[in-house]
Amino acid sequence: MSLAQGHIANFKTLSKAFDNDDVALMECTDVNTGEAVAVICMVNRMEGDIAFVPIARMFNGNPYEELVPPTDEVDSNVPK
């Protein structure tokens, strides 16, 4: 699987937002569970108004327990 072009574009925009201090860490609510979640938001400044654009969720637990990190080796124990 390769990264989606939209994800790559969002990452580039997020990198620019960090350079411009236009990033915020905010608490949002998951609409499916009602659980509070930490979210990285980009700050969109428009004619004196500010909008927060959610871009990524933070892990509440250990990400190494939830994800298989990328590797060059093929692991036969990892589901495809």
pLDDT tens for 33-50 read: 999 999 999 999 888 899
| Within-domain flag for 20 | yes
- Residue 60, pLDDT score: 87
Is the residue at 80 inside a domain? no
Residue 48: DSSP 8-state: T
66 domain-assigned:
no
Residue 31 domain-assigned (yes or no): yes
Question: What confidence category does residue 79 fall into, taking pLDDT thresholds of 50, 70 and 90?
Answer: low
**Which range of residues forms the domain containing residue 31?**
5-60
If one counts the domains in the chain, the total is 1
Instruction: Give a yes or no: residue 11 inside a domain.
Output: yes
Indicate if the pLDDT at residue 77 is higher than 70.
no
Task: Answer whether residue 71 is part of any domain.
Answer: no
- The predicted model scores a pTM of 0.73
Strands laid side by side in the 23-29 sheet: 23-29, 36-46, 49-57
